[in-house]
Amino acid sequence: MKKTALLFMGSLLALTVMGGQAQAGDAEAGKKSVEAKCLACHDFGAVFSKAGKVGPPLQGAVVGRAAGKDAAYKYSKPFLDKAATGLTWDEATLDTYLKKPGDFIKGTKMMAFPGIADDAERANVIAFLKTLK
Q: Which residues bind ligand HEC (CB under 6 A)?
A: 34, 37-38, 40-42, 54-56, 58, 62, 67-70, 75-76, 79, 89, 98, 108-110, 112-113, 116, 125
Looking at the Cβ atoms of 7 and 53, the one nearer to ligand HEC is 53
**CB neighbour burial string for 28-65, b if at least 16 within 10 angstroms, e if fewer:** ebbbebbeebbbebbbbeebbeeeeeebbbbeeebbee
> Shortest gap between Cβ of 7 and ligand HEC (angstroms)?
26
In sign, the C-alpha dihedral spanning 31, 29, 5, 132 is: positive
Whole-Å CA distances, 48 to 5, 91, 103, 109, 127: 23, 22, 29, 23, 17
Q: What is the largest CA-CA distance in the chain?
A: 54
> Shortest gap between Cβ of 10 and ligand HEC (angstroms)?
26
Looking at the Cβ atoms of 6 and 61, the one nearer to ligand HEC is 61
Looking at the Cβ atoms of 16 and 88, the one nearer to ligand HEC is 88
> Shortest gap between Cβ of 65 and ligand HEC (angstroms)?
7
> Shortest gap between Cβ of 11 and ligand HEC (angstroms)?
21
